[in-house]
Structure 1
Amino acid sequence: MEPTQQDAESYRDRLGLDGDVVRFEAGSLPVFAVGHDLVLKLFPLQYHGEVPVEVAVMEAVHGRLPVPTPRLQGVGVLDDWAYVLMSRLHGEEPAVPDVEVSAGVGEMLKALHAIEPPAVLGPGDWAAFVAGQRRGCVELQRKRGLDERWLERIPAFLDGVDLGDELPVLLHTEVMSAHLLRRSGKLSGLFDFEPAMRGAFEYEFASVGLFVTKGDARCWKALVEAYGRVPDPRRVMAYALLHVYSNMPKHMREMPEGDSFDELAVRWFGE
């Protein structure tokens, strides 16, 4: 059962906090602003395991990125809800695609990927994770509603892409406008770290390409120039298929069209 407004106000009082409690509308987990300066994020019982990831990454990145991130203020359990109390960031969700936002994200990812991934992050074996994603890829996209003519092309495309051995980096995995803030023309916040992982940097670029640059070549160029490394479009396309949250029919409706995965790779993740 979702926490009510009364529940949230009770938690505020039990934590000795002050200020109005207002729930943020977006997000898969209950998140409340407490006054002007704090945010209370609640995790139901089945998601308690995500708290150590959120906390570890929040502490690892704070003060080390060119974009502000929340500062940990407290962690614990209230009734059946685990909670993370953090400082509140301010700004508005940026409109995308946007060249300046893309460049800011590229600079941010360069710094993020240079930070040692906290030990709590998985997967422990990236190659095994990728292999598991490959085994389930066609069936997942079939459930998403992908047309059969595209489904039958997935195995051959993935077989033709050498994902190799990349040094695992700290991945946010869901850098998108909904997890970014912008204020006075600059990025003013990155948040939501519980989906973080350790893995190949192109995995990050798959979601950023889908949700930030959105197939805009100028934005993609600004992103990779700020990052300082140009990823192979086919590798990024492969990770777009293998990403935990991949929804290829949705992506195809929202992104530039193409007649093959190779063509989509260039149009979505190329200059």
Structure 2
Amino acid sequence: MPLLPEVPSAAHYYQHLRHAAPYEAAVAELCARHGLPLDVPRRKYPAGNAIVFAVGEAHVVKLFAPPFAEGAHTEARVLAHVDGRLGVPTPTLRASGTLEGWPYLVMSQLPGVSLEEAWPRIPVAQREALLAQLGAALARLHALPPLDVPPPHGSWERFVRTQREGCVERQRSRGLADAWLLQIPGFLERTLAQPESAAPTALLHTEVMRAHTLVQADAAGRWTLSGLFDFEPAMQGHPDYELASVGVFLSGGEPALLRAFCEGYGWPDGALPRAVRRRALAFALLHRYSNLRWYLETVPPPPGCDTLEGLAEAWWGTE
């Protein structure tokens, strides 16, 4: 009897299999295959493009449905490339392979809790220190030698062009109001016409957010970063593309937090130039998982902010 379901398409996986299908037997098979302990608890993390189980306190098993196989190959390559080089722990790849056509990774389990979970308990000054650490880690990531993990459509230029062509319809399908939709073409034209928008590419995480960052507190209550994970969507691209998730899901529109991140990254005076702020919003619109309506609900703009230029200042301003 098969351990894993057939997945005819990504849509079928999302609709029928992401949460409902039983995966415990497949994970047990992989534990036995790779000598992981069988007598420890296994717990399933919330599902995304991959099925992820913690095995005890030391290992993680990550299963990729066949439509997302490329993510397994990307994550394996990136984990090997960044290991020990970011100043922040990242998972160590222990094994990889396929089970009934599903690629999988076996990784070390990082200590700590998600920054998202811990956030309400962390004092403001320590939040800023954590974001400065993350900024420094991403500067190291972007400075690494290039890795052959191209973006969708094969190159950065084609990725931007394709995302731009479908941007308005994509945002419309996700419920964005016409008042914003009508501004997108002109905003992208003005912003992406700048020469800096075609800068050399760097290795990007692409989804740096509190949910993908681990922290832990010492006996004195001081919080430190204990891990950065989920490199499945990593790719080579413009370094400022990284700011898309940072401004919305990490600093959350709080200037002091973004300034701390930028200081850690190495931006002079911890400030983003206006052109970079607008480019960050442009890349947020072009992000492969972009949903501006959801972003506006997650980080409501200040009263009276009704232009994309104003939104760029609200989310990526540091004053």
TM-score, normalised relative to structure 1 = 0.94
RMSD: 1.6
**Structure 1 match to 2:53:** 32
Question: Could you tell me how far 1:92 is from its partner in structure 2?
Answer: 0.6
Aligned residue identity for 1:174: E
Q: 1: CA distance between counterparts of 2:313 and 2:185? A: 19
Residue 259 of structure 1 corresponds to which residue in structure 2?
306
Q: In the comparison of the two structures, how many residue pairs are matched?
A: 271
The residue number in structure 2 matching 1:172 is 205
Name which of structure 1's ranges 253-262 and 136-145 shifts more when overlaid on structure 2.
253-262
**Could you tell me how far apart the structure 1 residues matched to 2:171 and 2:188 are?**
14
Task: Judge conservation of contact 2:45–2:54 (CA < 8 Å) in 1.
Answer: no
In the TM superposition, what are the counterparts of 1:1-271 in structure 2 within 5 Å?
Answer: 1=5, 2-19=21-38, 20-28=40-48, 29-95=50-116, 96=119, 98-122=127-151, 124-161=154-191, 162=194, 164-184=197-217, 185-229=223-267, 230=272, 232-255=276-299, 256-257=301-302, 258-271=305-318
Structure 1 residue 21 displacement after superposition: 4.5
**What are the Cα deviations for residues 201-234 of structure 1, in whole angstroms up to 9, with x where unaligned?**
1110111111000100000100111101235111
Measured in 1, the distance between the counterparts of 2:235 and 2:216 equals 28
Shift of 1:189: 0.5
Q: In 2, distance between residues paired with 1:91 and 1:216?
A: 25
Report how far residue 70 of structure 1 moved: 0.7
Contact 1:21 1:32 in 2 (8 A): no
User: C-alpha deviations, 1:137-171, integer Å up to 9, x for none?
Assistant: 00010011011111111111111112532110000
Post-superposition offset of 1:17: 1.8
Deviates more, 1:157-166 or 1:81-90: 157-166
* Residue identity in the other structure for 1:157: F
Unaligned runs of 5+ in 1: none
TM-score with structure 2 length normalisation?
Answer: 0.81
One-letter code of the match for 2:190? G
Query: CA distance change for structure 1 residues 90 and 167 in 2, over 3 Å: closer, same or farther?
Result: same
1:33 Cα deviation after fit: 1.5
Gaps of 5+ in 2: 6-20, 218-222
- Identical counterparts, % of pairs: 42
| Contact in 1 for aligned 2:197/2:238 (Cα 8 Å) | no
Amino acid at match of 1:181: L
What do residues 48-72 of structure 1 show as CA deviations (whole Å, max 9, x unaligned)?
2222211110000010011100111
CA distance in structure 2 between the aligned counterparts of 1:122 and 1:25, rounded to whole angstroms: 26
Q: Cα deviations across residues 234-269 of structure 1 (Å, max 9, x unaligned)?
A: 111111111111111111122223111111111100
The more displaced of 170-179 and 159-168 is 159-168
